[in-house]
A and B are shown apart, each in its own frame.
Chain A
Amino acid sequence: DAGVIQSPRHEVTEMGQEVTLRCKPISGHDYLFWYRQTMMRGLELLIYFNNNVPIDDSGMPEDRFSAKMPNASFSTLKIQPSEPRDSAVYFCASKSRIQGISGELFFGEGSRLTVL
Chain B
Amino acid sequence: AQRVTQPEKLLSVFKGAPVELKCNYSYSGSPELFWYVQYSRQRLQLLLRHISRESIKGFTADLNKGETSFHLKKPFAQEEDSAMYYCAPWYSSASKIIFGSGTRLSIRP
Contact A102 B102 (CB under 8 A): no
Contact A102 B101 (CB under 8 A): no
Selected interface stretch from B11-19, B58-66, B71-79, B91-99: B91-99
Total cross-chain contacts (CB, 8 A): 51
| Cβ-neighbour of B97 out of A41, A91, A105, A109 (below 8 A) | A105
Q: How many of chain B's residues have a CB under 8 angstroms from any CB in A?
A: 21
Residues of A within 8 A of B49 (CB): 102, 104
| Cβ-neighbour of B32 out of A42, A102, A110 (below 8 A) | A102
Contact A91 B44 (CB under 8 A): yes
Instruction: Find the residue from A43, A44, A55, A110 having the highest chain B CB count within 10 A.
Output: A43
| Cβ-neighbour of A42 out of B45, B86, B94, B95 (below 8 A) | B86
Residues of B within 8 A of A105 (CB): 36, 46, 97
Q: Is the interface of A mostly helix, strand, loop or mixed?
A: strand
Q: How far is the CA of A102 from the CA of B95 in the complex (A)?
A: 8
Encoded as 1 (CB less than 8 Å from any B CB) or 0, chain A from 46 to 83 comes to 00101000011000000000000000000000000000
User: Is A101 an interface residue when CB atoms closer than 8 A count as contact?
Assistant: yes
Residues of B within 8 A of A3 (CB): 43
Question: Can you give 12 A-B contacts (C-beta < 8 A)?
Answer: A42-B101, A43-B44, A43-B99, A44-B99, A50-B95, A55-B95, A56-B94, A56-B95, A102-B32, A105-B46, A108-B43, A110-B43
Given A35-B99, A48-B96, A102-B32, 18 other A-B contacts at CB below 8 A? A33-B96, A33-B97, A42-B6, A42-B102, A43-B44, A43-B86, A43-B102, A45-B97, A50-B95, A55-B95, A55-B96, A56-B94, A101-B90, A101-B92, A102-B49, A102-B51, A104-B49, A107-B44
Residue ranges of A at the interface with B (Cβ–Cβ < 8 Å): 3, 33, 35, 41-45, 48, 50, 55-56, 91, 93, 101-102, 104-105, 107-110
